[in-house]
């Protein structure tokens, strides 16, 4: 029920939906004879998408999320396992129809996980996550990853697949049940930098105690290099709204340990 509700209400976090919502409110205001509300909504419907293109507005919030956890220093420190969160695979239906495994803009999760697996070949590498679609179609993420490993000639005898979880909290629960981490075991957690705070919060709520955050797939740089880009700004706002809402909802529903977790 939580999954279905979260996917249904997610439309409210879509920046391109906001102008249409404002136009609907403007229509209701006209019917209710509220001229000031109507004028305000019409003005916002036109200007709000343009405001989203102002990059300091979106990148400042994203930079806070992405800078929350720094890449860890792993040299000389023991590692008991590596966990790569899903969300980097593309369309399962296209993969099935084209017979090629599709990846998306978060593919750094996969490549970083494989690089860590090469660095620590004797510990388990876990790919966790099923489809986030309400009605999954085509190849599941595990099949796409397995095909990529086969194409690259990477042995999968130390690679595990958790293929039931459909959100970040379930990633933590089902992966814990799969690997049964021992107290004090250090497991590296690989996911996008903007998603890392919510992932750490969810894994803590799921019972993990010694997670080592390994952020990848950065969207923002360390300084502001560009000030206006409409497509980029809308994409940034989409990510920022999704992750901010996720942190709040996870905490309020007990699926997260903190509103904004940071390094221990």
Domain borders along the chain are 2-52, 74-224
Give pLDDT, residue 199: 98
What average pLDDT score do residues 56-83 get?
93
What are the C-alpha distances in Å from 255 to residues 9, 44, 258?
17, 34, 9
Q: What is the DSSP letter of 71?
A: P
Cβ-contact 217, 196 below 8 angstroms: no
pLDDT band at 75 (very low <50, low <70, confident <90, very high): confident
pLDDT at 58 over 70: yes
CA 201 to CA 257: how far, in whole Å? 5
Instruction: Using alpha carbons, select from 235, 178, 173, 232 the residue that is nearest to residue 207.
Output: 173
Residue in 83, 174, 173, 146 with CA at minimum distance from that of residue 120: 83
- The answer on pLDDT for 1 being more than 70 is no
What is the pLDDT, as a whole number, of residue 187?
A: 97
- In this prediction, residues 37-43 reach a mean pLDDT of 96
Query: Which class is 74-224 in CATH?
Result: alpha beta
N residues, the chain: 264
pLDDT band per the 50, 70, 90 thresholds, residue 10: confident
| Residue 56 CA, distance from chain mean position | 21
Give residue-wise pLDDT tens across range 86-130: 999 999 999 999 999 999 999 999 999 999 999 999 999 999 998
Helix axes 35-52, 18-31, angle to 10 degrees: 170
Q: What does the pLDDT look like over 202-229, one tens digit per residue?
A: 999 999 998 999 999 999 999 888 999 9
- Residue 3 pLDDT exceeds 80: no
How confident is the model at residue 60, as a pLDDT? 94
**pLDDT above 70 coverage of the chain, percent:** 98
For helices 35-52 and 55-66, what crossing angle results, to 10°? 60
Per-residue pLDDT, 170: 96
Q: Cα 39 vs. chain centroid, distance in angstroms? A: 37
Any residues with CB less than 8 A from the CB of 49 and at least 6 apart, and which? 15, 16, 18, 19, 230, 234
- Euclidean distance between CA atoms 18 and 170, whole angstroms: 30
């Amino acid at each position: 029920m939580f999954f279905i509700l979260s996917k249904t209400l997610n439309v409210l976090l879509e920046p391109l939906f906001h102008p249409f919502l404002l136009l609907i409110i403007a229509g209701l205001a006209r019917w209710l004879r509220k001229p000031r509300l109507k004028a305000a909504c019409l003005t916002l419907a036109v200007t709000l998408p343009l405001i989203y293109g102002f990059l300091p507005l979106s990148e400042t919030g994203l930079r806070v999320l992405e800078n929350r956890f720094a890449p860890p220093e792993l040299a000389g420190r023991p590692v008991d396992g590596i966990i790569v969160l899903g969300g980097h695979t593309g369309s399962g239906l296209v993969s099935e129809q084209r017979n090629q495994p599709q990846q998306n803009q978060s593919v750094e999760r996969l490549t970083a996980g494989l690089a860590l697996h090469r660095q620590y070949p004797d510990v388990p590498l876990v790919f966790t996550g099923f489809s986030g679609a309400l009605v999954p179609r085509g190849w599941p993420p595990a099949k796409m990853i397995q095909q990529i490993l086969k194409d690259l000639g990477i042995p999968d005898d130390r690679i595990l697949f958790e293929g039931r979880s459909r959100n970040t909290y379930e990633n933590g629960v089902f992966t814990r049940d799969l690997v049964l981490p021992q107290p004090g075991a250090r497991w590296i957690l690989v996911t996008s930098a903007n998603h890392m705070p919510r992932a750490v919060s969810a894994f803590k709520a799921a019972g993990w105690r010694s997670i080592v955050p390994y952020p990848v797939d950065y969207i923002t740089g360390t300084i502001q290099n560009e000030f206006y880009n409409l497509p980029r700004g809308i994409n940034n706002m989409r990510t920022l709204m999704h992750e901010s809402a996720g942190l709040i909802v996870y905490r309020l529903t007990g699926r997260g340990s903190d509103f904004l977790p940071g390094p221990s």
